[in-house]
């Protein structure tokens, strides 16, 4: 399935004590060579649970933010020799059984990035996604497709897989430490001509699943709009190759 590629699953964690083990146990046997958890100064027993499960653990000395947590995850995965990196939230919202479906298209060289989309089967609301998040997701995705020239069903999923070369090509260390980091990665990848694929990923919305509130969602939405406009402006002002 992986054509000899080393697959590392990374888990950016914050207060995931109650869901981490269930998430880890649901991963298909042999779907990853290693699992790395980065704890963003949780106030619960996330680190203790991760160590008991035998995961590689890195702990921030203070809460640095979702984007900063991912940066630590990716740096560590690359240091460990990952060819493909899968980001799986340890809150059991996304189905770990889909890891092989995310990895295979990258291992086969068909895509640089794979996304687990919650929007392809129409079940997001029935599974518990708040209506404001559902419609915000749909509208922002339509906006970004129009401005970036892509045809994705969702830009805002937290379930992703990346080829190593994505991190070697994109200046992700300089991206935001906040939630907009995910979107910055996709916009930058699109600007560099990297290929992005999707598979359907029905998500769970349970009491222990992590989520951001309305206020932070509005802030994120405004950042997405600005980011797309800025990317389009850069594309329009990009100089033409010599001879044209």
pLDDT in tens, 25-44: 999 999 999 999 999 999 99
pLDDT tens-place string over residues 92-119 = 999 999 999 999 999 999 999 999 999 8
CB 169 within 8 A of CB 192: yes
pLDDT tens-place string over residues 156-196 = 999 999 999 999 999 999 999 999 999 999 999 999 999 99
Portion of the chain with pLDDT greater than 90, in percent: 70
Per-residue confidence at 1, pLDDT binned at 50, 70, 90?
A: low
Report the distance separating Cα 55 and Cα 72, nearest Å.
15
- Residue spans of beta strands (DSSP E) within the chain: 7-13, 34-39, 56-59, 84-87, 113-117, 160-163, 196-200
For residue 73, pLDDT over 80 is answered with yes
Phi/psi-derived region of residue 88, left when phi > 0, alpha when psi is between -120 and 50, beta in every other case: beta
For residue 208, pLDDT over 70 is answered with no
CB 36 within 8 A of CB 54: no
Report the distance separating Cα 66 and Cα 12, nearest Å.
7
Per-residue model confidence (pLDDT) at position 203: 79
This prediction has a pTM of 0.88
Tell me the C-alpha to C-alpha distance, in Å, between residue 55 and each of 9, 10, 26: 10, 10, 14
**Two tokens, residue 145:** 């497709």
């Amino acid at each position: 399935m992986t054509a000899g590629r080393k697959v590392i699953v990374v888990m950016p964690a914050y207060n995931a004590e109650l869901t981490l083990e269930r998430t880890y146990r649901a991963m298909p046997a042999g779907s990853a060579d290693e699992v790395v958890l980065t704890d963003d100064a949780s106030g619960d027993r996330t680190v203790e649970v991760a160590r008991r499960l035998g995961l590689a653990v890195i702990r921030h000395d203070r809460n640095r933010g979702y984007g900063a947590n991912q940066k630590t995850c990716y740096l560590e995965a690359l240091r460990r020799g990952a060819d493909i990196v899968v980001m799986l939230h340890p809150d059991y919202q996304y189905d770990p059984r889909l890891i092989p479906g995310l990895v295979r298209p990258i291992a086969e060289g068909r895509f640089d990035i794979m996304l687990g989309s919650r929007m392809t089967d129409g079940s997001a609301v029935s599974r518990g996604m708040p209506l404001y998040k559902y419609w915000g997701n749909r509208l922002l995705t339509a906006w970004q497709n129009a401005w970036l020239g892509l045809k994705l069903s969702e830009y805002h999923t937290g379930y992703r897989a990346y080829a190593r070369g994505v991190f070697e090509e994109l200046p992700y260390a300089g991206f935001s430490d906040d939630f907009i980091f995910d979107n910055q990665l996709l916009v930058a990848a699109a600007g560099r001509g990297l290929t992005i694929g999707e598979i359907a990923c029905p998500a769970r919305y349970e009491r222990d699943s992590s989520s951001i509130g309305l206020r932070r969602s509005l802030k994120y939405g405004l950042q997405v709009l600005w980011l797309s406009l800025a990317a389009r402006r850069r594309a329009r002002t990009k100089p033409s190759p010599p001879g044209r």
